[in-house]
C-alpha cells in the first residue's frame, strides 16, 4: 500500500513542474510580444507622420508635372469668357442705341407771350422772322395805334370798304380778301385774332411797300 502513495506524489510533482514550465514559457512569450507590439506601433506612427515641405507636399515627394492639356483648356476657357464679355457689351450698347433712337426728340418749350398788345407784337415778330417777313416792333406798333388804337375787335363801318360790304377789321384794319390772300400759315384763320391779323397785314405790306416800317398812313 505505501507504494501507490509514492507514485501519486511523483506524478503530482511532475505535473506541477510541467505547469510551472508552461507558465514560465508563456511569460517569456508575453514579454517578447509586448516590446515587439510597441515597436511596431512606433514604426507605424513614424511612417504615418511625415515631414511636409513649404508647398504642402511631403518631403521627398515628386512634384507632379503640369498637364499641358489642362493649361490649354484654361486658356480656351479664358478666351471664351472674354468673347462672351465683349459680345455682352456690344449687345448692351446696341440696346442703348436702339432705346436712344426710339426716344422722340424733346421739343423746345414754346415761349410764353403776354395776352396784350406787347405780347401780340412780339409773338408776331417771332413768326415773321421764321417766315422771312420784314418788319420791326416800332413799325408794327406805330401803325396799329393809328389804325385801331390797339383794339383787336375794332371794325371800320364808314369807309369805302365798309360801303362795299368788306369792312376793315382788327388791329391793322385788314379786309377779308386781303387777309385770305396773305394769311400766314401757322396762325389762326380768324381776322380778329391779334397775331393772325398783324402777320397777314405785315405780309401784305412787305409785298406792296417792302415792309410795314415803310407805311405811315392808310394803306
Chain position carrying cell 483648356: 73
Q: What is the pLDDT of residues 152-175, one digit of tens each?
A: 999 999 999 999 999 999 999 999
Q: What is the pLDDT of residue 2?
A: 46
At 155 the three-state DSSP class reads: strand
Q: What's the rounded Cα separation, in Å, for the pair 42 and 38?
A: 6
What does residue 138 show for φ and ψ, rounded to 5 degrees? -65, -45
In this structure, of 39-48, 142-151, 184-193, 198-207, the range with the lowest mean pLDDT score is 39-48
pLDDT in tens, 169-204: 999 999 999 999 999 999 999 999 999 999 999 999
Cell of 41: 506601433
End-to-end CA distance of the chain: 187
pLDDT single digits (tens) 86-106: 667 766 777 777 776 677 667
For every residue of 111-172, DSSP letters joined together read PP--SSHHHHHHHHHHHHHHHT----HHHHHHHHHHHHTT-TT-B--SSHHHHTT---BTTT
- On average, the pLDDT of the chain sits at 76
Task: Burial-class residue 211 by CB neighbours within 10 Å (0-12, 13-18, 19+).
Answer: middle
User: How far does Cα 36 stand from its chain's mean position?
Assistant: 78
In whole angstroms, what is the distance from residue 54 CA to residue 59 CA?
9
What is the per-residue pLDDT for 9?
41
What is the grid cell recorded at 8? 501519486
Which pTM was predicted? 0.54
Amino acid at each position: 500500500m505505501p507504494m501507490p502513495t509514492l507514485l501519486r506524489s511523483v506524478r503530482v510533482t511532475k505535473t506541477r513542474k510541467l505547469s510551472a514550465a508552461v507558465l514560465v514559457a508563456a511569460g517569456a512569450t508575453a514579454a517578447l510580444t509586448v516590446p515587439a507590439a510597441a515597436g511596431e506601433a512606433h514604426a507605424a506612427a513614424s511612417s504615418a507622420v511625415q515631414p511636409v515641405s513649404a508647398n504642402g507636399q511631403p518631403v521627398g515627394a515628386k512634384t507632379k508635372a503640369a498637364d499641358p492639356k489642362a493649361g490649354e483648356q484654361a486658356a480656351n476657357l479664358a478666351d471664351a469668357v472674354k468673347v462672351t464679355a465683349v459680345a455682352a457689351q456690344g449687345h448692351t450698347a446696341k440696346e442703348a442705341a436702339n432705346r436712344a433712337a426710339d426716344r422722340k426728340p424733346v421739343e423746345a418749350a414754346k415761349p410764353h407771350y403776354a395776352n396784350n398788345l406787347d405780347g401780340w407784337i412780339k409773338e408776331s415778330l417771332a413768326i415773321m422772322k421764321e417766315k422771312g417777313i420784314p418788319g420791326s416792333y416800332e413799325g408794327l406798333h406805330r401803325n396799329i395805334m393809328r389804325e385801331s388804337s390797339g383794339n383787336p375787335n375794332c371794325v371800320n363801318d364808314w369807309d369805302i370798304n365798309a360801303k362795299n360790304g368788306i369792312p376793315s377789321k382788327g388791329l391793322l384794319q385788314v379786309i377779308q380778301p386781303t387777309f385770305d390772300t396773305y394769311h400766314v400759315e401757322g396762325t389762326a384763320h380768324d381776322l380778329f385774332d391779334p397775331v393772325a391779323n398783324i402777320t397777314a397785314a405785315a405780309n401784305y405790306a412787305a409785298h406792296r411797300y417792302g415792309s410795314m416800317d415803310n407805311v405811315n398812313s392808310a394803306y
